[in-house]
Chains A and B, each alone.
Chain A
Amino acid sequence: MTKLATPPKKSSGKDAQGGGRRGGRQEWSPEKANAYWKRNLRLIGVLLTIWFVVSYLLGLILANALYGVRIGQLPMSFWFAQQGAIFVFVILIFVYCWLMDRIDKEFDVHE
């Protein structure tokens, strides 16, 4: 079990500030909160773009255009729509978890 536990004061911003003060290394500030949130949003943006490309674009929107291209013995759009996109989805979530772990540590907001 992790030891850290700031008192759970929901519906107030205090736990965010309290978290920043831990260890006295870094001060928590609105600018820092903003920077952390922007990093998170950028990561979400990149991953959801990939999410859209493998499922909607390669699987469905370009379904007829990519029908002639093969992956293994299957048409490429068919493979993405019935196999490939699902594999990529799983990878995307774990990549998000790993990168957020690093960002949380960098901003000292990890649990």
Chain B
Amino acid sequence: MSDVQLWTYIVVAITFAFYIWIGYTNRVRDTKGFYVAGQGVPAVANGAATAADWMSAASFISMAGLISTMGFDGAIYLLGWTGGYVLLALLLAPYLRKFGKYTVPDFVGDRYYSQTARLIAAIATIVVSLTYVAGQMRGVGIVFSRFVGLPIEWGVVVGMAIVAFFAMLGGMKGITWTQVAQYAVLIVAYLIPAVAIGVVLTGNPIPQLSFTFSDIVPRLNAVQIDLGFKEYTQPFQGKTQLDVLAITIALMVGTAGLPHVITRFYTTPTVRAARYSAGWALLFIALLYTTAPAIAAFARYNLIDTLQNATVANVIEGEKQNIYELVYPDGTPVTWATSWQRTGLLAFYDKNGDGKIELRPGAAFQGRNFKAPTDGPNEVFFDNDIIVLANPEIAQLAPIVIALVAAGGLAAALSTASGLLLAMSSAVSHDIYYRILRPTATERQRMIAGRTMILIAILFAGYFGINPPGFVSQVVAMAFGLAAASNFPAILLGIFDKRANTAGAIWGMSVGLVFTLVMILMMKSNVIFGTPAPLLNDFMGISAEGIGAIGMILNFVVAFVVSRMTAPPPQEIQELVESVRIPRGAQVVEGAH
């Protein structure tokens, strides 16, 4: 066993033991503890939990790599996955906290005095969370297989067991405090390599500063031009401006409409704390999200620079790909390049036999067949994930840092998975079982239903983690698009438009959901149904990723118009709206404190 593997076992075991201990000490007995952590989570802690809940394996492992390839257009993720918190803080969180129940369907069902509206919101919650959670479980398996050398299936099973333990025992309370710990692990694991590589390349320890003020980006721009690429900072190379705008809107609004994020704001003690916790959440998220574009540029520069200077010293024939051993001009071997070729995430092919590996525009290989090079000039394939995963080795950090990155990736995946699982299971056990089917259920029955549903949800997610449907990664955009087109307009109008009524909400959500779903299915029909080409390329220039923005607008327009054509909501509902607009009265009187 290598040093890195040994450290990885140790660090992962310690963090997992820590999560289990936190889950055990935070076990709960009542539904209020189970669904909203007894409304006792302080603003800063809720901010950290929200940040961990929000930042998934994709944010941690893949985002910097994506930006590195996309250049300017990577802004869709950076803006789209942060800007939604401003909407949450100003437009949703404080009012939902004042409303003070457990779930998103709770609000939609009560505000629109309709079980149909409640059911639609519950179904939207389940669909959105399920699409999202399968990817997370897969992420756990992938991190395990890459760092610990465990088969993906076993990685998924270990992840399921850990989540099942603290989520079933502690519900929202256990999940919240575990997420606080997971945030700490993931942010430390992200920042250490980022700072180190920034120091190596620019001498400045603060990535945000060296990204903006050092000459690394101008140098990257210059070298990109030399190699036949456009400048790194050049806008709209891969997507049109209109599409970038639509995707950013869909991701922002989708973020504000994701049930597992919204639910977090029910857990604070006061309305004021709900507002502040949105601020803390975004601050904690911004720490990673402003570092990611710096890593993206640093890593791309470093990759190009290394390849330009290094020469091929030796080629080892391999079954799936040939391993090229490179050396720097001074003769020292480029070890990270060799070790990452072995994982299949990096592949070279010296097509012109000049002893140099050249990164150029275009594909280097035919698909992922690394024995079949294309005719194009490019000689390099790299998986986007390598940008974050290989960073510690490129910066030549100690094995314990590499182990920490593994623990960070696992923390990101587990924390997001647990939040999603709770949102999904509460839609069934609280909204559908208790609020719709069995309003007479006792506290005890509701707790049993809650715990059982979490277990079922975990088994579901685990199954999809081990047997991922081929299109999962392709349709994660769906989760955001659907959330943007369903929940967000219904909640927003429920607070800001007193005239909004049942018919408006139901029609609005249905039109938004159906439109977005149909559009995504048609634009992705080649991966979902196996049609030779997508049935539809785009909708007036907007791709599947951005279509939720149109679905959201449709929802708003339909809900607004239909509400005005039908009878206004009853007096008591108008009073409910009055009441959620005012902070005082959100706290629950609880005996002697």
Contacts and interface: CB of A to CB of B under 8 A. Distances in A.
B272 A90 contact: no
> Which 8 residue pairs spanning A and B have beta carbons closest together?
A15-B585, A19-B584, A81-B75, A13-B575, A72-B212, A93-B279, A63-B235, A82-B293
Nearest to B293: A82
Interface in B78-100: 78-79, 82-83, 85-86, 89-91, 94, 99-100
A11 B85 contact: no
B244 interface: yes
Contact of B585 (A18, A51, A72, A93): A18
A1 B593 contact: yes
Contacts of B75: 59-60, 81-82
A5 B100 CA distance: 14
Contacts of A9: 585
Contacts of A33: 578, 581-582
Contact of A55 (B79, B275, B582, B588): B79
Contacts of B208: 83
20 contacts: A2-B587, A4-B584, A7-B589, A11-B110, A13-B575, A13-B578, A14-B579, A16-B582, A18-B584, A33-B578, A33-B582, A60-B245, A73-B212, A73-B214, A77-B72, A82-B75, A82-B293, A83-B208, A93-B279, A97-B89
A104 interface: yes
B215 interface: yes
A61 interface: yes
A19 B584 CA distance: 6
A47 B90 contact: yes
Contacts of B575: 11-13
A96 B274 CA distance: 12
A8 B588 contact: yes
A13 B72 contact: no
Contact of A97 (B99, B211, B279, B286): B279
A51 B86 contact: yes
Interface of A: 1-2, 4-16, 18-19, 22, 33, 36-37, 40, 44, 47-48, 51, 55-56, 59-61, 63-64, 67, 71-75, 77-79, 81-83, 85-87, 89-90, 92-94, 96-97, 100-101, 104, 109-111
B105 to A, nearest CB: 16
A93 B218 CA distance: 33
Contacts of A19: 582, 584-585
A56 B245 contact: yes
B204 to A, nearest CB: 12
A10 B100 contact: yes
A1 B208 CA distance: 38
Contact of B584 (A51, A71, A73, A110): A110
A36 B193 CA distance: 48
B86 A89 contact: yes
Contacts of B72: 63, 77-78, 81-82
Contacts of B282: 89-90, 93
B79 A8 contact: no
Contact of A48 (B90, B233, B579, B587): B90
B248 A60 contact: yes
Contacts of B82: 85-86, 89
Given A83-B211, A86-B290, A89-B82, A97 B588 contact: no
Interface in B39-90: 67, 72, 74-75, 78-79, 82-83, 85-86, 89-90
B509 to A, nearest CB: 21
A16 B582 CA distance: 7
Contacts of B272: 97, 100-101, 104, 110-111
Nearest to B577: A13
Given A5-B587, A64-B235, A100-B275, A82 B78 contact: yes
A10 B289 CA distance: 38
Nearest to B272: A111
B572 interface: yes
Interface string B202-224: 00000010011111111000000
